[in-house]
Amino acid sequence: MPSPRVAAPVPGPLPTVPLKLPRKAPVFVDETHTQLVRRARKMHKVLTETYPDAHCELDFTTPLELLVATILSAQTTDVLVNKVTPGLFAKYPNAQAYAEADREELEAILKPTGFFRAKTNSVMKLGQALVDDYDGVVPNKLTELVKLPGTGRKTANVVLGNAFGIPGITVDTHFGRLVRRFGWTTEQDPVKVEHIIGELFPKKDWTMLSHRLIFHGRRRCHAKKPACGACPVAQWCPSYGTGPTNPEAAAKLVKVPA
């Protein structure tokens, strides 16, 4: 029997957390590495309390399903991908099915995700590579995953952390934005960010750290207008004030995904 699909729980109101809002953005210019580690871990502790249900928001039952869903999530939302994948996974249950897929049929299914021709190409090549090199089974090593079509380090770490339980840091746009706003790093390169942030936290925390920062980025710390006045880690954030600091105005910016 197939495994039950791993799906996001029905969203509810975000937990209420006590806020201690500074008058202005705190400054950490002379912060030592040890002080940075302590501040980063304190922020993570508070985010853990704020988002107790943080998780991968892509629905899947197998490593292959998660790998394909993550590839499809580029330049679109997890919500949209989750609408497409039930039919997709039913029609293409294994790597061989993707390798032998009719291109036009697969493109029609993937069209709602955007860039569907490129994604169709990646998924078909992925299926063929898995059949040719791994007997149709998704490997559980980073060095092998990144060799697969359409699979970079970000995608590989999503699969390792959520399908195999192997800790990994997922540097997506939310994660990168937040670690720079938090003053944990100024680095822009995703691979360098992954290694720098990995040194601040125990390896066992990497996967959930990624989920919590992504949750925070989607719900409060938005790219254009972050909800600074509704942020539970504001007192440790050097970017406090980038968005509205008035609690009532900020609360209106907090999002609960549908």
Query: In this structure, what is the dihedral angle of CA atoms 115, 117, 122, 127, given to the nearest 10 degrees?
Result: 130
Euclidean distance between CA atoms 166 and 63, whole angstroms: 12
Active site residue 78: no
The candidate with the shortest Cα–Cα distance to 158, out of 210, 204, 201, 85, is 210
Active site residue 154: yes
Q: Which residues contact 235 (CB under 8 A, 6 or more apart)?
A: 20, 21, 22, 26
Of 141, 154, 225, 255, which residue is the catalytic one?
154
Question: Residue 234 in contact with residue 228, Cβ under 8 Å?
Answer: yes
Rg (CA), the chain: 20
Question: Residue 99 in contact with residue 127, Cβ under 8 Å?
Answer: yes
Of 53, 119, 172, 205, which residue is the catalytic one?
172
Q: Which residues contact 176 (CB under 8 A, 6 or more apart)?
A: 188, 190, 193
Neighbours of 100 (CB within 10 A): 12
- Catalytic residue IDs: 154, 172
